Structure 1
Amino acid sequence: MGKKSIKWMAVCVMLALSVLFGGCAQSAEPAEEAPPVKEAVTVQVAPAKKGDIQSEYLYSGKVKPIGEANVVSTVAGTVQQINYQVGDPVEKDAVLFQMGTEDIENNLTVLKAQLEATKAQVRSAQTGVELVNGAAMQTQIQSAKTGLEQAEIAYNDMKTTYENNKQLYEAGIISKSDMDKTETGMKNAEIAYNTAKTSYDLVANQMPEENLRKAQDGLAAAQASQKAVEAQMASAEKTLRDAAVKSPITGVVTGCTLTEGTLYSSAAGPAFVISDTSKVHINVSISEQLINRVKPGQKVDVKITAVSETPLQGTIDTVNPASNQTGTYEVKIVVDNADGTLKSGMFGEVHFTKEKKENVIVLPREAVVTSGGENYVFVNEDGVARKKLVTIGIDTGKEVEVTGGLEENSSVVVKGQAFLADGDTVNVSGSGKEA
């Protein structure tokens, strides 16, 4: 092979190596790539609207009837009949049960006979009073009056005779013995006259007064006897009425310990328990921070989950201004229960207003992110999430008041904010999407 051919082959080899190594050098350098594009985050948004918000104190207690009556019988004996059972509604004055009355009725029969006897005694005594100045008494008075008049005439006649004889004696016309007889006769006539006056006074004045007093005393005694029997009868009749034991209030039977045909007395405890559940009350013990914020007549929300998730309206009935042993204050809340759905013993929560704001921006609590001592929200601005630092006020745990850093009607992210960073692209979707 000639030098020219060898030279040409060398040139070819060099060219080949140049192409080979050049390709390897090019393949060793990495090619520049465009940064990856972050996908849009799907969120729900809602406009920042103004509204009302309030924070609350929450206290719990048990439902109790507004009124409760323990019913006993004042009549001991055998239970004759039971008219109601536990759970039955009853009206006021309805007969709950009947006690046996045979002994009471027998006693009444005896007392009625005694009453008739005392009434007869009263009538007799009244007749005695009327006869004190009756015909017989008037006859005695007239007779005594006649005797007095006759004695007075005889005395006056004898006195005249005495005066005449005295003159005759002094003139010596009659003897001393005749004068003595005349004087004796006048004294006798005077005695007879005084006796007649005494007798008349006795018959006409003293005897009627004495007889009247005796007759009146007899009448009073008979009337007292009648009243005593009437009092016993009234007591027996009341006992007979009390044997039909009535409900003192309208309500529901919540307790009954009786069995027909068995003995019962009040010492055994209440026979019936009647509860008035037309209204119920809940007693709660509140703190000193709240005591000066509540007063009777104030409305409060009462939540009884056994009946409804929607709070019922209650009214503060009483507020005890003195604390109990635990340092809290008892408050009684009354709730209407006309339909009877609230039962004694149910658990209830009473909500007292702690703080209330009106016409302020209110957001769902989850819309506000708290991190690193900051509170912020994300606002959708033309498909881009913008972080906004905010200040908050009332926080109920479900809602929060925004006091600064957010304008009304801003499109606030309420779902999906946990996955956002400032400047992220957002895709608005779901029930929270703006109208």
Structure 2
Amino acid sequence: MKIGRIVIAVIVVAAVAFTVYRFVGSKKVEVVTDTRPGVMTVEPERRDIVIYTEQIGTIAPTQSVSVFPKVGGEALSVNFNVGDNVNAGDVLATINSDALTALKIQMDAAKVTMNDTATALSRTQALADTGAVATQVLEQARSAATSAALNYEAAKSQYELQSSYTSIKAPISGVVETKGVKVHDMIAQGTAIATISGNSGMEVKFGATVDVQNHLKAGDQIKVLHNGTEYNGNITEISNALSSSTGLYDVKASLEGEALQSGMKVKITLLKNKADNVLTLPISAVMYSGNDAYIYLYREGKAVKKNINVGIYDSDYIEIKDGINTSDKVISTWSNELYDGAEVLLSQNEGVESSADETVGNAETESAGNK
């Protein structure tokens, strides 16, 4: 009987122990989780922001002259072709001008009149020496001879001048770019027979918008790309008036590189905008509501919304005109849990908050009985 009671007691104790183990020993430790969104911060920095733009330009000779005849007529000879190198003064073409024929007739007539009046003066002078004619008659003969001589000289000068125009000469040395005449063509004044590109080098011409034109000045360097080869250039001329044909400001720049030829299309890289030593933030730190820009500042564990005014920006940074200073800590990570006054958790690598504020435990702990 005594042994039986002991067995019963052991069974009761075991049952109690099992019950305690079920309801106490196996109870899990509660997991405490920090629900604040984690954020990282940056401090505003001063830097330069430089923005470049690309334009398409056309290569042209620095000096280009169109050749026009000064008299009209038939082309008797044409002594050039496209691509020829010519020197200043070379005869490009000759013209047979009807106007020149008329001037020749006038000159010859004036010469006859001059000779006749000279002969009359000589006879009158002889008669005057004998007293056969009055002094007044002699003076009239002298005046007529003088007038006739002047008329002849004028007609001769006009003829010689127009005659020189029948030989059309190259005004500069260079390469013939265009040809607009053939032998026996009738040429009119004001019609170009050729275009000559000078030997003084090449330039690139392009149009600039007003925001680009405002940041350009003579002497600025540009980069020109053609078929994978880059050339350097310097701006030489910037128009202050909009072109009626393009609506842009015409710009010219001299170029280094003999491989570039007139008419080539090239890509130009030049300054579009620049801000020196301005306060900046990474673009990712700035958010917008409509057209209004804002940021979140980190202050004593909270996100504080701050409206700002922004300026120009490149691919990485944006200019901050006002609203913050260099000592502010700006939240640079986005979260849909951010709002003005929201409690946030500064990332551990910021060195501000310890891991004690982060999630306690990774998952459920082991049961107390297995520790």
TM-score bracket, shorter-length normalisation? 0.5 to 0.7
For 1:212, the equivalent position in structure 2 comes to 138
- Larger radius of gyration between Structure 1 and Structure 2: 1
| Separation in 1, partners of 2:80, 2:232 | 40
Structure 1, gaps ≥5 residues long: 142-202, 429-435
Partner residue, 1:405: 324
**Aligned residue among 21, 31, 35 for 1:23:** 21
2:45 to 45, 48, 52: 48
8 Å CA contact 2:207–2:248 kept in 1: the answer is yes
Q: Secondary structure at the match of 1:82?
A: coil
SS at match of 1:77: strand
- Residue in structure 1 matching 2:164, options 215, 225, 238: 238
Task: Show the counterpart of 2:279.
Answer: 362
Alignment of 1:174-189 (within 5 A): none
Q: CA deviation at 1:111?
A: 9.7
Q: Identity percentage over the alignment?
A: 12
Native 8 Å contact 1:118 1:222 kept in 2: yes
Deviation per residue, 1:28-56 (Å, 9 max, x gap): 42134575999x98x8967623x677999
What's the CA shift string for 1:335-382, capped at 9, x where partnerless?
4426487977768799898xx9877x5114516421566622668x9x
Check whether the contact 2:74–2:97 (CA below 8 A) recurs between aligned residues.
Answer: no
Structure 2: gaps spanning 5 or more residues? 339-343, 352-371
Q: CA deviation at 1:82?
A: 0.8
**Residue 82 of structure 1 corresponds to which residue in structure 2?**
80
Contact kept in structure 1, 2:81 and 2:179, CA below 8 Å: no
Pair 1:128 & 2:112 matched: no
1:326-405 equivalent positions in 2, closer than 5 A: 332=249, 334-337=251-254, 339=256, 361-366=278-283, 368-370=285-287, 375-376=294-295, 390-398=306-314, 399-405=318-324
- What is the number of equivalent residue pairs in this alignment? 325
Counterpart in 1 of 2:192?
A: 270
Distance between the aligned counterparts of 1:394 and 1:343, measured in 2?
43
**Mapping of 1:246-261 within 5 angstroms?**
246-247=170-171, 254-258=177-181, 261=183
- Check whether the contact 1:111–1:232 (CA below 8 A) recurs between aligned residues: no
After superposition, the Cα gap between the structure-2 partners of 1:209 and 1:119, relative to the gap in structure 1 and judged at 3 Å, is closer
* Counterpart pick for 2:93 among 93, 98, 117: 98
Distance 1:44 1:96 in 2: 77
Q: Which residue of 1 aligns with 2:354?
A: none
Cross-structure match for 1:223 = 149
Alpha-carbon shift at residue 71 of structure 1 (Å): 2.7
Structure with the largest fraction of strand: 2
Is 1:8 aligned to 2:6, yes or no? yes
- Residues in 1 aligned to 2:173 and 2:11: alpha-carbon distance in whole angstroms: 121
Structure with the larger helix share: 1
Query: What is the match of residue 363 of structure 2?
Result: none
Contact 2:59–2:202 under 8 Å retained in 1: no
- In the alignment, is the contact (CA less than 8 A) between 2:206 and 2:251 conserved in 1? yes
Post-superposition shift, 1:246?
2.7
Is 1:424 the counterpart of 2:347? The answer is yes
Amino acid at match of 1:426: N
Distance change (3 Å), C-alpha of 1:68 and 1:330: farther
Return closer, same or farther for 1:20/1:228 CA change in 2, 3 Å cut-off.
closer
RMSD: 6.2
